[in-house]
Amino acid sequence: MTINMGIVGPKDSVDKAIQVVDSMGNNINSIPLIYTNHHQIKLMVDSVLTRLDCLLFTGVLPYSLMYEELKDKLPIAYIGRDTNTVMRTVFEIVYLNKRMIDKVSFDVFKKTEVLELFEEINIPTDHVYVLEHAPGMVSDDITEHHLSLYNNKKVNICITCSLITYIKLKELGIPIFRVVPSRSSIKQTIEMLLLEFKSSVFQKSAITIGVISIDNNLEDEKYSSSYDLERIQLKLHDLLLSFAQKTQSSIVRSGDEFFIYSTYGELISNNLALADTEILEQSYNLFNISLSYGIGTGLTVQDAKNNAKIAIKHARQTGNCIFIKEHSGQIIGPISPGKTDSINWLDADVINMLSKKTGINNSILAKALYIVDKKLGATFTVQQFAEVYKCTLRNARRILTLLEKADVISIESYEQHLSAGRPKKVYMKNKSLENK
């Protein structure tokens, strides 16, 4: 099956995208739609729309201009620029062009992203000006932003995502540099666009995106440096790659998070949500880490991403579990290794009452109470609770302290270490929670 993919953008960006498409070896017929100004885009797209299966924009500006008109007609996506591409541009300016970056203007990016990046690489941020992307923005707006700042001597270097702006300011002799997407970013966007297209063709209802993050962070006792965390993440990446191969999913690492892409049909037919609990169990047994896993489904990639963000937020609140937010709006979870019904064993009114007493989130509280009442013995220590809950000692101490204040548990005794140090608290539950 040949897929007709329209690629909209300036000539150099379209050519680069076509090169990536050709290298991927898929049955894709690239249809270049090259413009020199944004007024040409609508007419160009409309002239070939009936021939297209999907549409790729090489930047956010043309995408935002056409989004409302095209969103319900065919799968569309744009190639984003991330801070890695900014870093590459900064390297070009400082090391290759031997210029100082002390007064600079940006466009399209979020201001916080640019400032955080500059702070990380110790570049002053006092004179950094960013025109963030807004709906309806065109290259003329971007050109005016940089031109005004330069003419008023507020900046001496301009960095843009727009080729049209780059050419205009270059002709005026203004020091201008352009941020272009990396091949990996182009490839990832194309893969997501193809996934969205195939999902609609084969009527698998929705796309599924999973987000996995490590619950433990650099503040925990087990990590002495960022290198320790990086080693753990590399081992986890290898484990997830094996899982992705087995389930015919694709995986992408982004910072401290891992994204797993599949279709809703695969999630249901292969029962992946329950299979994913094996990842949680294996990561804890092999690497002594607990994971939060949020799965989102949606009729488009963007919908699935948004639902995945909501699901991972719920999962992080509980820890070592999976939450799913379906495109129907239903939220399922927590799904944990072993039994998946721990949230339902206790009456909701009891949960709400104790949540108000302790200040603990309902889902975290339900899991903690289930472990105290059903999984542990008559007495238990912080270490035992942490092992069953699969959380850090710090989180275990915090939860148990709040349960003690709410009179759910109490200190039964203290165990003295053989070596010097504070004695361990031994807790006991005060009464059966189901009779509260």
- Can you give the pLDDT at residue 340? 41
In DSSP terms, 298 is beta-bridged to: 207
Q: What is the pLDDT of residues 359-413, one digit of tens each?
A: 776 667 777 887 887 778 788 899 888 888 777 788 888 889 888 888 888 888 8
Does residue 184 sit within a domain?
no
In a domain, 246, yes or no: yes
pLDDT band at 342 (very low <50, low <70, confident <90, very high): very low
Token pair listed for 53 = 């299966």
CA–CA separation, 281 vs 3, rounded Å?
40
Q: Are residues 172 and 210 in the same domain?
A: no
Q: How confident is residue 326, by pLDDT bands cut at 50, 70 and 90?
A: confident
Name the 3-class secondary structure at 88. Answer: helix
If asked whether residues 270 and 329 sit together in one domain, one would say yes
Which of 78, 102, 132 is where one domain is finished?
A: 78
| pTM of this structure | 0.50
3-state secondary structure labels for all residues of 12-77: HHHHHHHHHHHHHCCCEEEEEEECCCHHHHHHHHHHHHHHCCEEEECCHHHHHHHHHHHCCCCCEE
Q: Supply 106's token pair.
A: 């940006």
- Both 52 and 172 in a single domain? no
Give how far Cα 284 sits from Cα of 82, 212, 216, 277, 320, Å.
32, 14, 11, 11, 9
The domain boundary, picked from 178, 196, 231, lies at: 178
Indicate the residue type of 228. Answer: D
Are 128 and 114 contacting, i.e. CB atoms less than 8 angstroms apart? yes
CA–CA separation, 328 and 300 (whole Å): 13
Per DSSP, what are the bridge partners of residue 213?
257, 292
- Is residue 183 a part of any domain in this protein? no
Strand order in the sheet with 176-178: 128-132, 104-108, 157-160, 176-178
CATH code for the domain in which residue 244 is found: 3.30.70.270
Residue 396 lies in a domain: yes
Res. 345: pLDDT tops 70: no
Structure tokens at 405: 């204040």
Query: Which of 309, 335, 361 corresponds to the end of one domain?
Result: 335
Q: What is the mean pLDDT of residues 203-230?
A: 65
CATH number for position 156: 3.40.50
Q: For residue 356, what are its two tokens?
A: 């108000």
Q: Which residues make beta-bridge pairs with 331?
A: 325
- The residue count of the chain comes to 436
- 193 domain-assigned: no
pLDDT in tens, 268-306: 444 444 455 677 888 878 887 888 899 888 877 888 889
**Residue 198 forms part of a structural domain:** no
Biggest CA–CA distance in the chain, Å, is 81
Q: Quick one: DSSP state of residue 422?
A: P
Question: Can you tell me the distance from the alpha carbon of 214 to that of 210, in angstroms, rounded to the nearest whole number?
Answer: 14
Pairwise CA distance, residues 320 & 214, whole Å: 9
Query: How far is CA 430 from each of CA 56, 132, 369, rounded to the nearest angstrom?
Result: 61, 56, 12
Closest CA to 257 of 204, 311, 221, 302: 311
CA atoms of 362 and 355, how far apart (whole Å): 6
Ranges of beta strands (E only) in 169-290 are 176-178, 207-214, 250-254, 257-263
Q: Do 327 and 226 share a structural domain? A: yes
* 331, 223: one domain: yes
Contacts of 85 (CB under 8 A, 6+ apart): 179, 180, 181, 182, 185
Q: What total of structural domains would you count in the chain?
A: 4
Q: Is residue 197 part of a domain?
A: no
- 12 within domain boundaries: yes
Q: Residue 312 is which amino acid?
A: I
**Three-state SS at 331:** strand
Q: Are 9 and 87 found together in one domain?
A: no
End-to-end CA distance of the chain: 62
- The pLDDT tens digits for 19-56 are 999 998 778 999 999 998 888 999 999 999 999 999 99
CA angle 212, 233, 242 (to 5 degrees): 70
For the chain, give the percent of residues with pLDDT over 70.
Answer: 84
Q: How many whole angstroms separate alpha carbon 370 and alpha carbon 376?
A: 9
Considering only CA atoms, give the Rg of the chain. 26
The rounded mean pLDDT for the chain is 82
Same domain as 66, residue 101: no
My answer on whether 27 and 148 are in the same domain is no
User: Letter for the amino acid at 327?
Assistant: H
For residue 356, give its domain range: 348-435
Regarding whether 329 and 370 lie in a shared domain, the answer is: no
- Residues 307, 219 share a domain: yes
The percent of the chain in helix, strand and coil, each rounded to the nearest 5, is: 50, 20, 30
CATH label of the domain that carries residue 414: 1.10.10.10
- Residue 155 pLDDT > 90, yes or no? yes
| More reliable by pLDDT, 432 or 65 | 65
Instruction: Read off the pLDDT of residues 99-127 as tens digits, 9 standing for 90 and up.
Output: 888 899 999 998 988 898 888 888 888 99
Domain co-membership, 313 together with 382: no
Q: Quick one: 212 and 268 in the same domain?
A: yes
- The answer to whether the bond into 62 is cis (omega within 30° of 0) is no
What pLDDT is recorded for position 425? 87
